[in-house]
Structure 1
Amino acid sequence: MREYKIRGTNYKIRYNDFYGELTPIIFIHGLGCAGSFDYVEAASLIGSEHRIILIDLLGAGYSDKPLSFKYTVDSHVKYLKEFIEDLNLEEIIIFGHSLGGPIAIELCDVLRSRIKTLILSESNLEPSGYGSASFEIADLNEDDLDKSLERKIAEYERSGNTMWVATLRNWLPKAAFELSVNAVKGGEIPWRNLLYQFDFPKYFIFGEKSLPDADFTKLKEHGVNIEVVSKAGHSMAWENPEGFAQAIKSCL
């Protein structure tokens, strides 16, 4: 585990950095998740050819959790851009899962000249709607956020979603709430529109159990390559790490 101090602050993000000679792959996790929890097994299965960087976003995992930070997509993008610049990464592959997808998409937009490939797994492309976890968290009582999120986590645990609960518990409630509010609002430029505009290779990974999905055809029509992880749904990195790693390798 390594750490990076965000420019102009005392805040630190922490990340795993696995050695490889080929283009670095930067993994950006989703809401309630952590790179240090989600992708270590997958990184070992992808192999040692590519450098692999697994980030815990600010407010999540092992990274700092400052109360004064504004936990929006563009705020995460700002320090991740500086992180990539300060590591002198001239060419990169970006991966983003779920609500990490909009962060990955907007990061690609501000670093277009450095991007070799964008890989998304069941990324948010539209504002979050009713029934999604981000919609539920955005709807929590902001004045009683700690307790209201604690109750929501207990609800998720009763439903059997124990892996996600394990990492969601380590999120700063403010970080989960503000990112979820941003997800419901959507991007200033719709994330789908940005994705379609990119001229570098783009991939979108579905879990087999998440299909059928209208985007399976729609994304293909807009030049986005599709991969499917068998025997898995949205949480494909946990449900089938071997299949997930193979899907990533197919995108490289």
Structure 2
Amino acid sequence: MHSAAVTPQDDRIRWVELPGEEPARVYLHGLGSTSPAYFAAAAAHPLLAGRRSLLVDLLGHGLSDRPEGFTYTLEAHADALAKALGQAGTEGAEVIAHSMGGAVAVVLATRHPELVSRLVLVDANLDPVRPDRRAAGSGAIASYTEEDFLNGGWAEIRDRVGAHWWSTMRLAGRTALYRSAVHLAAGTTPTVRQLLLELEIPRTYLLPEADGPLPGAEELKAAGVAVVPVPDCGHNIMLDNPDGFARATAGALRAA
């Protein structure tokens, strides 16, 4: 395990690192998750192994610190991650990022282009989400006030998301989880989708085949974003279909 101080208070981002050839690959988890749990098997898959791989936990999540004074906006997450990657010496990394991590990765590539050579987004958040108590994930969490979430709303979310997601979500700081969800639901200005359209590096978007056509797919393709459906999976593509995920990701990383 490695770490880097990324705030003036020396709060640290931590990551599990697998040795291998450069350029490095950086794996980023989704909301309430942790990269070692979600990406260890993928990084070691025969189609993806052999590259220096950093399985990074964003601030507030997993192995990383949980500062109460941090804003947890997508921009703040990206800037903190940039400091960690700078200290790790991973300029020009290939970034493979799931869900919220995908939104952070797009912002990272926009604000710190020297750090990212290509993106593989795994069912990532591209558009704002309306807060909705009946929903799951960021939309449900964002429907609470911070006070209500911290004073018991988190338990309602725990019961709704189920044991699998909660097994990693419970590791996140509750303030960090709430603020990350609120800012993920709100998105960025311009939107993450628009930022993605404007990037000039190779970009691939993986989605579950069963979800049907990706909204706005034609516009993404016209801008050079490869849109790749993966069969036999849900939102957690790398866990539901490890071989399919590895094939799609390896293909994206080989593409010109």
Q: Normalising by structure 1, what TM-score?
A: 0.92
Q: 1:190 to 1:65 in 2, by over 3 A?
A: same
Q: 1:133 to 1:90 in 2, by over 3 A?
A: closer
**Is residue 2:204 matched to residue 1:203?**
yes
**Structure 2 contact 217–227 (Cα < 8 Å) conserved:** yes
Aligned to 1:4: 4
Q: Which whole-Å CA distance do the structure 2 matches of 1:214 and 1:238 have between them? A: 23
Aligned to 2:27: 27
**Is residue 2:149 matched to residue 1:145?**
yes
**Structure 1 contact 26–54 (Cα < 8 Å) conserved:** yes
Q: Which whole-Å CA distance do the structure 1 matches of 2:58 and 2:168 have between them? A: 12
TM-superposition CA deviations, 1:58-116 (whole Å, max 9, x none): 11111111212221111111111111222222321112211111110010012223422
Shift of residue 132 of structure 1? 4.7
Shift of residue 122 of structure 1? 1.1
Q: Any stretches of 5+ residues in structure 1 without a counterpart?
A: none
Aligned to 2:14: 14
SS of the equivalent of 2:44 reads helix
Q: Which whole-Å CA distance do the structure 2 matches of 1:165 and 1:238 have between them? A: 15
Q: 1:21 to 1:37 in 2, by over 3 A?
A: same
Identical-pair percentage: 28
Q: Which 4+ stretches in 1 moved above 6 angstroms?
A: none
Amino acid in structure 2 at the alignment position of 1:151: E
Q: How many residue pairs get matched?
A: 248
Q: Normalising by structure 2, what TM-score?
A: 0.90
Equivalent positions of 1:1-252 (< 5 A) are 1-45=1-45, 46-129=47-130, 130=132, 131-146=135-150, 147-157=152-162, 162-252=163-253
Q: Which whole-Å CA distance do the structure 1 matches of 2:48 and 2:6 have between them? A: 29
SS of the equivalent of 2:36 reads helix
SS of the equivalent of 1:128 reads coil
Shift of residue 119 of structure 1? 1.1
Q: 1:20 to 1:145 in 2, by over 3 A?
A: same
Shift of residue 138 of structure 1? 0.6
**Structure 1 contact 19–48 (Cα < 8 Å) conserved:** no
Shift of residue 117 of structure 1? 0.7
**Structure 1 contact 22–49 (Cα < 8 Å) conserved:** no
SS of the equivalent of 1:94 reads strand
TM-superposition CA deviations, 1:214-244 (whole Å, max 9, x none): 3343422221112222200111111111211
Shift of residue 7 of structure 1? 4.6
Give the superposed CA RMSD.
Answer: 1.7
Q: Which whole-Å CA distance do the structure 2 matches of 1:141 and 1:198 have between them? A: 34
TM-superposition CA deviations, 1:5-63 (whole Å, max 9, x none): 22522211211111111321111111111102110111111443321111111111111
**Structure 1 contact 2–17 (Cα < 8 Å) conserved:** yes
Q: Which whole-Å CA distance do the structure 1 matches of 2:10 and 2:117 have between them? A: 31
Q: Which whole-Å CA distance do the structure 2 matches of 1:126 and 1:113 have between them? A: 25
TM-superposition CA deviations, 1:199-223 (whole Å, max 9, x none): 1111000112222333343422221
**Structure 1 contact 210–234 (Cα < 8 Å) conserved:** no
Amino acid in structure 2 at the alignment position of 1:63: S
Q: 1:108 to 1:66 in 2, by over 3 A?
A: same
